[in-house]
Structure 1
Amino acid sequence: MTVHAMTAKDVTKKVINKESLFILDVRNEADFKDWKIEGENFDYLNIPYFDLLDGVEEILDRIPTDKEVLVVCAKEGSSIMIADMLSEVGRTVSYLEGGMKTWSEYLEPIKVGELTGGGELYQFVRIGKGCLSYMVVSEGEAAIIDSTRMTDVYLNFAKEIGAKITHVFDTHLHADHISGGRKIAEATGAAYWLPPKDAEEVTFEYSALEDGNEVKIGHTTINIHALYSPGHTIGSTSFIVDEKFLLSGDILFIDSIGRPDLAGKAEDWVGDLRESLYKRYKELSNDLMVLPAHFMIIDELNEDGSVAKKLGTLFAENHGLNIEDEDEFRKLVTENLPPQPNAYQEIRETNMGKITPDDDKQREMEIGPNRCAVR
């Protein structure tokens, strides 16, 4: 029997469509517990591949015959070997092409809205890492917000839709993933915008992103309005796009709120976080569609795979927006924090331009789930 490769795009479609899939993950137990492919109707078996070197017969009764089976490992090689062994004993299985390395880097573009005068807003869902980035398009011009280091995806997408990238923004200095902002700006001649309060240590030129900045895209009325909203970082800045969408960066998520400690400043910044969420955001229209820079759990995906909800709905349903007692809020934000992201200090230094790791090192720095939210 031939063993087939399943691509990250194929698996992403199964996640979005809530299809069933049985995953045999042959990485070691610690890696599997830390981070795995998540799907609402996925089942899992984790057996390290070195436990299967003598054969797969002992696990056959644990692998269903009535479901699609996908073998997963870190980089692909081990999963091909185990998939071949299962195929030799008569099982139909696939392996994940490129392994978890590729899963971490895959971006699915999804159109999330129409803009005034015929523009569009696209969300790029990094399904394996929980990162969300955006492209605002109007009259042949495009702006990119919170891009990942997989810059070719944005460049190729813009080319496909016939748009020239003229502006690139980061809502803040990221600590959980490497930004592709500077690289895209260099490749396209676009302006690269960064909040100056997050950029005190950067080693490169940038356009200062400050409260009240208005950036127009195309010759239409599309505008990107910057709203200073510190708390996750001291420079964190949100965007209101076309008076319809609120790009909240890492301040507000669908199911949680941002953590203020990735620069070791949890106690210092918790007051800023509360003010941004409970005062600045309270003054905005409840009809704004919130588009965050991350999602935490697969349940936050809408039916089309996008991550978005109205601000009014979040004020009603998101626990982090409904803590009246300031001490209780402080406690939640400073004491209920998940572990720091993998290599977060090195990621910050890369995003400042202080270090320039090679591609393999960058990939290694980013491996694992995102951890930008309060639990």
Structure 2
Amino acid sequence: MAAADDKQGMTAEEAARFILDKKELFILDVRNESDFNDWKMEGESIEILNIPYFEWLEGVDSVLSRIPEGKQILVVCAKEGSSKFVAEQLAEAGRSPIYYLEGGMKSWSEYLEPVKIGDLKDGGSIYQFVRIGKGCLSYMIVSDGEAAVVDMVRMTDVIERFAKENGLTIKHAIDTHLHADHISGGRILAEKTGAAYWLPPKDAAEVVFAYEKLEDGKEITVGNTQIKIQPVYSPGHTIGSTSLIVDDQYLLTGDILFIESIGRPDLAGKAEDWAGDLRHTLYTRYKELSDDLIVLPAHFGKISELGEGGKAAARLGDLYQSNPGLNFPDEAEFRRAVTDNLPQHPNSYQAIRQTNMGKIQPTDEEQREMEMGPNRCAIHDK
């Protein structure tokens, strides 16, 4: 963190380390109440308080009593400017240490934390890239100097830099489904690196670009060690949703199955039609797979889903015991759960789908605005 006499900037990476390492931090969010209630920073060891910016304009005295003493305080706003102003007021009032979030919630939304999940049988590795502010999870499967990237978010520079630093050539970019809550970086990454771009054909009926068909029976090889990525058709969140079994150890479930919840079937307006597909995938197709597969989802909904080191991972057999979405007693109750009282749709989800189809080309700033807010892909994230 940059040295300063009164206040200091804290990067999104540094803030993420506080949360993942479960260090105490007091967060003062000065955005308006509706934005705060829609989406906020979360962590097991943090306290958070919302005092909107306008309350600070007449001075710090009226709100100072609500700010704790002797704690590390991080002031947060949308873009940075308001938090710097409030941090200055608190510093002048004698509170210390005071930080402001560099780049605001926009930077928080875009930060990716790389986490090694484990090794593969023939010497390769699998990495999870945790987008902690948005709840997105991307993956890199590595073997013999080659890499496949799965469910990449739009910040492809992070993956490209990681590949370069580790001497890797990206050979494949894969999307398990047509995403509706975030803009995919898979196709752009493929264009920049010369990799093949894979997408389930049943989700690609309206796309305007060329792609490789991700479907049952196809095998994607990474490296000379013949590590196989085996697609498993698993509809329900979308009609084309396709899970991946990697190296007979890992099950990349996309937005079908999460650690504490299951995917929603309504983001294309077909909840009634797709609820049956979702149940068949979760209660029949996945049941045929090994209980020892490690589930690696494309999202997490709550910070509690991140385990040791920030990993979002769990054994499939354990999820059949602990995940409420896998334990509805009958089909009627399951259908009610996944079609009634669903959470709010992801922000700008229709425009995001259009972008991922290649039909519209929003600017970088428009893409940032489209993605602001939490992911809402799970039926229990209310």
TM-score tier by shorter-chain length is: over 0.9
1:20 to 18, 24, 33: 24
Cα deviations by residue, 1:333-366 (Å, 9 ceiling, x for unpaired): 0013100000000000000000000011100000
Structure 1 residue ranges without an equivalent (≥5): none
Residue 51 (str. 1) matches residue 55 (str. 2): yes
Q: Which amino acid aligns with 1:36?
A: K
Judge conservation of contact 2:111–2:132 (CA < 8 Å) in 1: yes
Residue equivalent to 1:265: 270
2:14 equivalent in structure 1: 10
1:198 touches 1:233 (CA, 8 Å); kept in 2? yes
What amino acid is aligned across from residue 339 of structure 1 in structure 2?
Q
Spell out the pairing of 1:353-368 with structure 2 (5 A cutoff).
Answer: 353-368=358-373
Alpha-carbon distance in structure 1 between the residues aligned to 2:156 and 2:88 = 34
Paired AA for residue 129 in structure 2: F
> What is the distance in 2 between the residues matched to 1:43 and 1:25?
11
SS in structure 2 at match of 1:37: coil
Relative to the length of structure 1, the TM-score reads 0.99
Partner of 1:39: 43
Q: Give the Cα–Cα distance (whole angstroms) in 2 for the partners of residues 290 and 121 of structure 1.
A: 13
Match of 1:166 in 2: 171
SS of the residue corresponding to residue 22 of structure 1 reads: strand
> Does the CA contact (< 8 Å) of 2:6 and 2:92 recur in 1?
no
Pick aligned residue for 2:259 from 247, 254, 266: 254
Instruction: Give the match for residue 115 of structure 1.
Output: 120
> After TM superposition, what 4+ stretches of structure 1 lie above 6 angstroms from structure 2?
none
Letter in 2 for 1:368: G
Any idea what the Cα deviations from partners look like across 1:168-193, whole Å, max 9, x if unmatched? Answer: 00000000000001110000000000
**Corresponding residue number in structure 1 for 2:297:** 292
Per-residue Cα deviation, 1:221-265 (whole angstroms, up to 9, x for no partner): 311000000000000000000000000000000000000000001
Structure 2, unaligned runs of 5 or more: none
State the distance in 2 between where 1:333 and 1:192 align.
Answer: 31
1:133 matched residue in structure 2: 138
**For residue 327 of structure 1, what is the amino acid of its counterpart?**
A
Equivalenced residues, count: 375
- Alignment partners' CA distance in 1, 2:324 and 2:7: 46
Partner of 1:188: 193
**In angstroms, what is the RMSD of aligned CA positions?**
0.7
1:370 — aligned with what?
375
Distance in 2 of aligned mates of 1:336 and 1:153: 37
Corresponding residue of 2:65:
61
Shift, 1:91, TM fit: 1.4
The one-letter code of the counterpart of 2:67 is: I
Question: Structure 2 CA distance, aligned partners of 1:58 and 1:116?
Answer: 61
Q: CA deviation at 1:324?
A: 2.6
Task: Give the Cα separation in 2 of the matches to 1:127 and 1:292.
Answer: 14
Rounded to whole Å, the distance in 1 between the matches of 2:236 and 2:262 is 10
Alpha-carbon distance in 2 for matches of 1:226, 1:313: 22
Cα separation, 1, equivalents of 2:91 and 2:329: 58
Secondary structure in structure 1 of the residue aligned to 2:117:
strand
Q: Distance in 2 between matches of 1:333 and 1:266?
A: 8
Q: Aligned to 1:71, what secondary structure does the other structure show?
A: strand
TM-score, with structure 2 as normaliser: 0.97
Tell me which residue corresponds to 2:233.
228
Tell me if structure 2 keeps the 8 A contact 1:116–1:221: no
Distance in structure 2 (CA, Å) of the matches to 1:234 and 1:332: 19
Q: Which segment is superposed worse, 238-247 or 80-89?
A: 80-89
Deviates more, 1:79-88 or 1:289-298: 79-88
Shift of 1:41: 1.6
Separation of aligned partners in 1, 2:137 and 2:341: 23
Measured in 2, the distance between the counterparts of 1:117 and 1:211 equals 24
Matches within 5 A, 1:137-216: 137-216=142-221
> Do the aligned partners of 2:190 and 2:196 also contact (CA within 8 Å) in 1?
yes
Q: Which residue of 1 aligns with 2:85?
A: 81
Match for residue 71 of structure 1? 75
Whether 1:344 aligns to 2:349 is: yes
